[in-house]
A and B are shown apart, each in its own frame.
Chain A
Amino acid sequence: MYKILSKEVLSNVVKLMDIEAPHVARKAAAGQFVIVRIDEFGERIPLTIADYNREKGSITIIFQELGKSTIQLGKLNPGDSLASFAGPLGHPTEIENFGTVVCMGGGVGIAPIYPIARALREAGNKVISIIGARTKELLFWEEKMRAVSDELIICTDDGSHGRKSLVTEPLKEILDNKANTIAKVWAIGPAIMMKFVTLTTKPYNVPTIVSLNTIMIDGTGMCGGCRVLLEEGAQFVCVDGPEFDGHKVDWDNLLSRLSFYKDEEKLAVEHYEHKCRIDGATVKGRE
């Protein structure tokens, strides 16, 4: 069992947890992910590693409460344990001194972009960061991102904080001004945001790395459920990724695959909430 060491509420639907998992912490690096399973009944949930502490043997995960499993995870507290915690999985982000780079985080994607921005800065890059969310309440880590960025731009869809715009708007302005000096762009967030970031950078020919979070079962290269279509053919996100050249991704295929289990996801939430009402307000897992 893997103990929850601490928990932080980052926004009304985004939570952070430090999990004790020394076997993962000893090798974890920015860009990799873990597979989490809450209990005997739980599915295997892939979550990007937001941070790690090798001395403490802990991993920081950040998740948005979207479906049954993340809602249930959000109800757990320090002292509780998770049934499974496997990783680190996937390839780490390739970090070197590229020059000037742009790091973009959308919604819960701010969490995994943070250690990448930090590592890029440490490697000597000039880091311009753009973070965005639907509304102010969904934004977090503004100060942490500012601390690792040479420039930080904040966007909200409704204008409740920072600029009222999508993250692609300031990105386009930056590219218009200095496309030839931007060496690389990283974008992590909802698939639709990543799609539009790559559409924005494409005409400028700026290499754009995206981190894909697909439907996975085992996460270790066994089921093939996470396959994505790239220009060169199908690849497995769990072993070949999770980062890919965003310009080569068939986004429409990815978006449709992500929506395949939508009905079941809704049913799972309803079933869970129904059980919660029956079992009382203090439901913790299903024990």
Chain B
Amino acid sequence: MAELKPAERMKIKRHEMPNQDPVVRSSNYEEVALGYTLETAKEEAERCLQCKDPKCVQGCPVGVLIPQFIKALREGDMVTAVKWMKVKNNLPAVCGRVCPQEVQCEGNCILSKKGEAVAIGRLERFVGDYELSQRTCPMVKAPKTGKKVAVVGSGPAGLTCAVDVAREGHDVTLFESLHGPGGVLIYGIPEFRLPKSVVHGEISYAAECLCIDIKTDHVIGRSFTLDELLSDFDAVFLGTGAGLPSFMRIPGINLNGVMSANEFLTRVNLMKAYQFPDYDTPVKLGKKVAVIGAGNVAMDAVRCSQRLMSLEAKKTGGSPGEAHIVYRRSKDEVPARAEEVHHAAEEGVIFDFLTNPIEILGDDKRKVRALRCVRMELGEPDASGRRKPVEIKGSEFDMEIDTVIMALGTNPNPIVFVDAEGLERTKYGTAVADNETGRTKKKRVWAGGDVVTGAATVISAMGAGKRAAADINKFLKGEAAWE
């Protein structure tokens, strides 16, 4: 294609991502978004204006060199595109799928002011998938330094930190308490949004290239305390996330049929309950599921519920059931990504906005039979700037429900803090760490991701892992002393 003028580029319409048909996909676990072809990817890449001062890069928590990789891509030079991508991002196939691009790179894209942003996320995914299958650009480990780094937690923060530290030539051991690495990418995000093969592929590729020793089944705080790690390693990074689920303080939470989103998603994603009894771990849903909350985790849970009920209905010939999102604010305040909400609605999820549960009612067998709710209206803005939901007096009503899934956010798991004297925590249980360096109040211990911020996004955790890795590398080189 001849070199286009900016005006011509701006005339090209954003290329849609082909998706599985909603009716078909609502009863399978295969990936919803099917990805671009090379042709579509190149055409979409043509839309990029190659800004001199690229706002998209500023919007990316890890600063991916977006104009560079897009330029190579549109020239059809995949190897170079991969190289540019990997300067900053070691998990492009993951990030291309789960980052909230609309508020980060794409949200800052100059084209978004006048129409539609370049589909940076889809292009990133395309480049990531290409590299996973072709392995053109293995990461290179610098000569061995003899320094040892322990990374605790193998989710987005820990993985990113481990890779960036290992690249500098340090020996990295990555500790994971579950039986497989990936953290929330494995137990939390469903197969239809992020295939496990993509996560495993990116992790094992990086670990092989950089000789990262991954120790699964290791619960730090129990088999090894933080202080024991410090005697064996020169630096320790904590990326243990926020896994401890919150439950609403309403009557009935201990009834059978009430689960945390973590329990539900772990059963379904990590333990593959959708393939029970071929896999051993079951999950029990009825015909009417209410997911409480409206964040990304709630969307994952409700879409999994919808699929499980549809699969069951297909097997038994019954009705496919109803999956609800119950949220106390209105549609405008929904914290989940717009795309997830859209996909959920397409798949038949029912949204009950301005509805707040006040009690879970059980039958004589202590099994959930209904959710007592109250209608809400929006009042004055609160501290978060959102209009505060206020109960409408006398508007109580019962929803007939047999399963309640609480997706109300999570807190850091306390186990890692066992026998970790000097590691300061906030009243919310999160670790106190410097935002720029990731340094905690305990010498030679860094932390980043959800264990510091509380539940947030994959990419923000990666950004924290990256910043901490940079500081660890400086520290190990003797360029930055610990005050």
Contact = CB atoms under 8 A, between A and B. Distances in A.
Contacts of A234: 247, 253-254
B219 A86 contact: yes
Contact of B260 (A24, A224, A272): A224
Given A89-B219, A221-B413, A234-B247, A267 B254 contact: no
Interface string A5-38: 0000000000000000001101100000001010
B251 to A, nearest CB: 11
B271 A44 contact: yes
B279 A84 contact: no
Contacts of B262: 222-224
A86 B177 CA distance: 7
B266 A223 contact: yes
Contact of B254 (A37, A41, A69, A227): A227
B208 to A, nearest CB: 19
B278 A221 contact: no
Contacts of A222: 187, 243-245, 262, 266, 413
B280 interface: yes
Contact residues of B: prevailing secondary structure: loop
Contacts of B256: 256-257, 260
A88 B247 CA distance: 26
B158 to A, nearest CB: 15
A239 B280 contact: no
B271 A43 contact: yes
Q: Which of A27, A69, A83, A221 has the most CB of B within 10 A?
A: A221
Interface in A219-276: 220-225, 227, 229, 234, 239, 250, 252-253, 256-257, 260-261, 264, 267-268, 271-272
Contacts of B413: 220-222, 239
A253 B254 contact: yes
Interface residues of A, number: 43
A26 B215 CA distance: 16
A189 interface: no
Determine which residue in A69, A85, A222 has the highest number of CB atoms from chain B within 10 A of its CB, and name it: A222
B216 interface: yes
A68 interface: yes
Given A223-B245, A227-B254, A256-B256, A268 B217 contact: no
A213 to B, nearest CB: 17
A267 B243 contact: no
A261 B282 contact: yes
Interface in B211-229: 215-219, 222-224
25 contacts: A23-B224, A24-B223, A27-B223, A41-B280, A43-B271, A84-B179, A84-B216, A84-B217, A86-B179, A221-B415, A223-B260, A224-B245, A225-B263, A239-B414, A252-B366, A256-B256, A256-B365, A257-B254, A257-B256, A260-B257, A261-B284, A264-B277, A264-B282, A271-B277, A272-B277
Interface of A: 23-24, 26-27, 35, 37, 41-44, 68-69, 83-89, 217-218, 220-225, 227, 229, 234, 239, 250, 252-253, 256-257, 260-261, 264, 267-268, 271-272
Interface of B: 177-179, 187, 215-219, 222-224, 243-245, 247, 253-254, 256-257, 259-260, 262-263, 266-267, 271, 276-282, 284, 365-366, 413-415
